[in-house]
Amino acid sequence: MNTAEMTAKMAAGNGFIAALDQSGGSTPKALAGYGIGEDAWSDEAGMYGLIHDMRSRIIRSAAFTGSKVIGAILFERTMDGTVDGLPTPAALIAKGVVPFIKIDKGLEDEDRGVQMMKPMPELDALLARSKALGVYGTKERSVINSANASGIADIVAQQFEVGRQVLKGGLMPMLEPEVNIKSDTRGACDELLLAELLKNLEGMNEQVMLKLSLPVIPGTFDPLVRHPKVLRVVALSGGYKRPEACAELSRNKGIIASFSRALLEDLRFQMSDAEFDAALGEAIDAIYTGSTVKAG
């Protein structure tokens, strides 16, 4: 796939984006969910080697193809690794899956109800390296915990500022200002976020992608789905179990999944390849259905 073909697949492809980008503090939790305890590694290199093995097993699975998984988000170390001798982005492209890279370096402490992204001083170099490996786009996460108007304005402004840097580097930014689904003011967060996203989109000359928490009221983000400056709106599972995440997703027309935990929750290291492929296939089918078959 060339860049134009990847853009077309992101704009209108039937399917969803797999989030394979757990990093740092979330890696032990992801490995534990996969059935590997912390006694299985002695250093960071060992830990990341095990998570790369898990992701490689997913990517090489017969259930993981571009017919239903149209994109995948990688952690930087995963991007730099190989799958069956191919650089990971090339292995994805060979299966018809568009590669993205997680670029944020974690979250600042909460201030005014939000957690901004930490500085990314080496971003330009990462963008250049990612583009050279065939990566199509990026993903950057920050978090909204409560309905503070100035905090949400600042978090969205930061997302777009980094997004413009990504576009300048020749990649497609996926902006992810996540609303914490456990927030007591979640519905108000959705409304404030929508207003700020629409305001910032008006100043854009190029398209971006958006990765958002599923809204309290289905259809809240319809103006973003229809917006000419938005290539695609995708949703994170946000801690929902897969059945609930897929049900919520199906109530929001035009939004596809970009799930992590909901995709991986039934996979175990101890499974035979046949069992692993069957469990992954079942998850992919459910998330694909939630992304493409909408309620009402």
Environment class of 133 (CB within 10 Å of its CB; exposed 0-12, middle 13-18, buried 19+)? middle
- Rounded CA separation 133/211 (Å): 23
In 3D space, the residue among 238, 279, 278 whose CA is nearest the CA of residue 255 turns out to be 238
64 close to 58: Cβ distance less than 8 angstroms: yes
The residues near 262 (Cβ < 8 Å, ≥ 6 apart) are 237, 240, 241, 242, 245, 246, 283, 287
Q: Helix, strand or coil for residue 17?
A: strand
Which residues are catalytic, by number? 176, 211
- Rounded CA separation 58/77 (Å): 16
Eight-state DSSP code of residue 215: P
**How many helices, marked H, and strands, marked E, lie in the chain?**
12, 11
Query: Given the structure tokens 């609930």, which residue do they identify?
Result: 244
Length of the chain: 296
- Helix extents (H) in the chain: 3-12, 26-33, 44-60, 76-80, 88-94, 123-132, 149-168, 186-201, 222-225, 242-250, 261-264, 273-292
In 3D space, the residue among 240, 256, 241 whose CA is nearest the CA of residue 290 turns out to be 256
Query: Given the structure tokens 């998984």, which residue do they identify?
Result: 69
The residues near 56 (Cβ < 8 Å, ≥ 6 apart) are 81, 83, 84, 88
